């Protein structure tokens, strides 16, 4: 009696009920449409990989978070913790079967065994899109333009893309004489927006001394327009250089495309992952920036070098769909819908079921989503069900209506009925509605 197993899911893992899943799928469809519009093609890779593949270049933090175990054949395997590393392996393995430049999108779940928080889970979905095979400003810009289009397609009212170039930052570090501490410095600087200038300075001073800390703060100040910030960064970093030129090119393209308004040059964002080598970007929602970046990425010119001698420069970004959903929820504007049914064919007489099914078939043939209520019940209850499913209409035919040779179409929100002589007449009305 009491030996039933308690239904539950692991910490950080979730079920998706229809309403949540319909919302998620709607977002994925918007992204898919965007990616295709920019010429990206889809790929997929295995959930499980050899641990050495995934962890080849991983730092200590990643290593701690990855789900790793021995499979039944004693192989050392791990679950993918992002889509970029598997993609690098994919490119190295299939370079001969592909073409360059190659632009792909990949929307799939990834796993990280870290602690949970709002919008942060152990199983979550990433939507990656990358362009591999070239190292040009145009490719960098394509990624940014795709982000911009994606935000628009997702119905985000306002978003800003913060961009920076690691190369410029590294030049600056070299000039300031603290290149040896670049990884730590990048990490501290990355937190500027979160911990404030004071604390950032303190941590930098601890790391590299007071003089260097002041220089770094001056460098990462930002905030007075893209071109002015770029000019100052470049000057402090030692003058004109190819990396600054890349940023200027990007800004030029953004201006030409009317996107410069959502572009911010933020010398303080660097991205934690160490495989980025060039431009990096993060995307923040104007309404709720504190939730963090909902789409981040950058240029990585050495990633596939772990798996191949062929040089495969790439640039890409990843949309955090779960974080986006959390943001929409926090903003109270998550789309609520009950289902896809537009017409519920009410079942008021079991002997007329063949007619109900025939009517439903006719509606579907015209592209109208409908379902037949599967048992004869009180109409009140069927209306309530129709409402749950988000149906706009109920199609009713009981003995009375049949006697009159009529079909009753009820507008559920207006609670108004109209009679029609045939299903075709009903279809005509629905197509006009």
Partner RNA sequence: GUGGAUGUAGCUCAGCGGUAGAGUCCCAGAAUGUGGAUCUGGAUGUCGCGGGUUCGACACCCGUCAUCCACCCCA
CA distance linking residue 377 with residue 331, whole number of Å: 39
Tell me how far, at minimum, the Cβ of 250 lies from RNA, in Å: 20
Residues 6+ apart with CB under 8 A from 236: 172, 175, 215, 218, 219
DSSP H helical ranges for 7-80: 18-37, 51-55, 60-65
Tell me how far, at minimum, the Cβ of 151 lies from RNA, in Å: 13
Specify the residue, 258 or 403, whose C-beta has the smaller distance to RNA. Answer: 403
CA distance linking residue 252 with residue 302, whole number of Å: 26
Specify the residue, 73 or 403, whose C-beta has the smaller distance to RNA. Answer: 403
Q: Nearest to residue 50, comparing CAs of 91, 12, 89, 94?
A: 89
Specify the residue, 82 or 227, whose C-beta has the smaller distance to RNA. Answer: 82
- Chain-centroid distance, C-alpha 129: 10
Tell me how far, at minimum, the Cβ of 234 lies from RNA, in Å: 26
User: Please, which residues bridge with residue 117 across strands?
Assistant: 120
CA distance linking residue 259 with residue 179, whole number of Å: 34
CA distance linking residue 303 with residue 300, whole number of Å: 6
User: Please, which residues bridge with residue 284 across strands?
Assistant: 160
Specify the residue, 244 or 277, whose C-beta has the smaller distance to RNA. Answer: 277
CA distance linking residue 324 with residue 285, whole number of Å: 9
Tell me how far, at minimum, the Cβ of 153 lies from RNA, in Å: 17
Tell me how far, at minimum, the Cβ of 239 lies from RNA, in Å: 30
With contact defined as beta carbons under 8 Å apart, do 169 and 184 qualify?
no
Specify the residue, 77 or 326, whose C-beta has the smaller distance to RNA. Answer: 326
CA distance linking residue 247 with residue 278, whole number of Å: 10
CA distance linking residue 27 with residue 21, whole number of Å: 10
CA distance linking residue 111 with residue 120, whole number of Å: 11
Tell me how far, at minimum, the Cβ of 212 lies from RNA, in Å: 19
Specify the residue, 72 or 117, whose C-beta has the smaller distance to RNA. Answer: 117
Specify the residue, 134 or 412, whose C-beta has the smaller distance to RNA. Answer: 412
Secondary structure letter of residue 117 according to DSSP: B
Specify the residue, 36 or 194, whose C-beta has the smaller distance to RNA. Answer: 194
- Contacting residues toward RNA, per CB under 7 A: 6, 8, 10-13, 61, 65, 82, 112, 114-122, 124, 126, 187, 190-191, 194-195, 271-273, 292-296, 318, 320, 322-323, 346, 348-349, 378-381, 383-384, 386-387, 396, 398-401, 408, 410, 412-415, 417
- Chain-centroid distance, C-alpha 414: 38
Tell me how far, at minimum, the Cβ of 333 lies from RNA, in Å: 17
Tell me how far, at minimum, the Cβ of 304 lies from RNA, in Å: 18
């Amino acid at each position: 009696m009491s030996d039933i197993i308690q239904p539950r899911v692991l910490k950080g893992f979730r079920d998706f009920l229809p309403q949540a899943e319909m919302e998620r799928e709607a977002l994925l469809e918007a992204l898919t449409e965007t990616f295709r519009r920019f010429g990206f093609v889809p790929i997929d890779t295995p959930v499980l990989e050899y641990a050495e593949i995934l962890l080849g270049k991983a730092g200590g933090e990643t290593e701690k978070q990855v789900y790793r175990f021995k499979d039944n054949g004693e192989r050392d395997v791990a679950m993918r913790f992002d889509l970029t590393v598997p993609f690098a392996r994919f490119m190295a393995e299939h370079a001969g079967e592909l073409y360059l430049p190659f632009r792909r999108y990949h929307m799939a779940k990834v796993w990280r065994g870290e602690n949970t928080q709002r919008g942060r889970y152990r199983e979550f979905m990433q939507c990656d899109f990358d362009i591999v095979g070239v190292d040009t400003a145009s490719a960098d810009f394509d990624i940014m333009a795709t982000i911009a289009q994606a935000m628009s397609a997702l119905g985000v009212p306002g978003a800003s893309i913060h961009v920076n170039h690691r190369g410029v930052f590294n030049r600056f570090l070299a000039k300031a004489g603290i290149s040896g501490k670049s990884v730590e410095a990048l990490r501290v600087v990355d937190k500027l927006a979160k911990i404030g200038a004071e604390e950032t300075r303190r941590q930098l001073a601890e790391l590299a001394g007071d003089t260097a800390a002041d220089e770094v703060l001056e460098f990462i100040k930002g905030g007075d327009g893209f071109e002015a910030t770029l000019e100052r960064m470049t000057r402090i970093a030692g003058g004109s250089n190819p990396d600054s030129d890349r940023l200027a090119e990007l800004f030029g393209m953004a201006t030409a495309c009317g996107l410069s308004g959502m572009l911010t040059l933020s010398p303080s964002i660097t991205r934690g992952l160490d495989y980025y080598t060039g431009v990096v970007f993060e995307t923040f929602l104007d309404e709720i920036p504190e939730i963090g970046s909902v789409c981040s990425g950058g240029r990585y010119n050495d990633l596939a070098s772990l798996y191949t001698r062929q040089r495969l420069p790439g640039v890409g970004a990843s949309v955090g769909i779960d974080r986006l959903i959390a943001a929409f929820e926090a903003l109270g504007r998550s789309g609520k819908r009950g289902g896809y049914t537009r017409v519920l064919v009410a079942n008021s007489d079991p002997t007329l079921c063949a007619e109900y099914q025939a009517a439903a078939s006719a509606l579907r043939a015209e592209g109208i989503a409908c379902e037949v209520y599967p048992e004869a019940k009180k109409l009140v209850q069927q209306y309530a069900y129709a409402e749950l499913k988000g149906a706009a209409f109920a199609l009713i035919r009981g003995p009375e209506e049949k006697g009159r040779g009529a079909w009753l179409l009820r507008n559920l929100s207006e609670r108004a009925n109209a009679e029609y002589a045939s299903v075709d007449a009903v279809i005509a009305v629905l197509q006009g509605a």
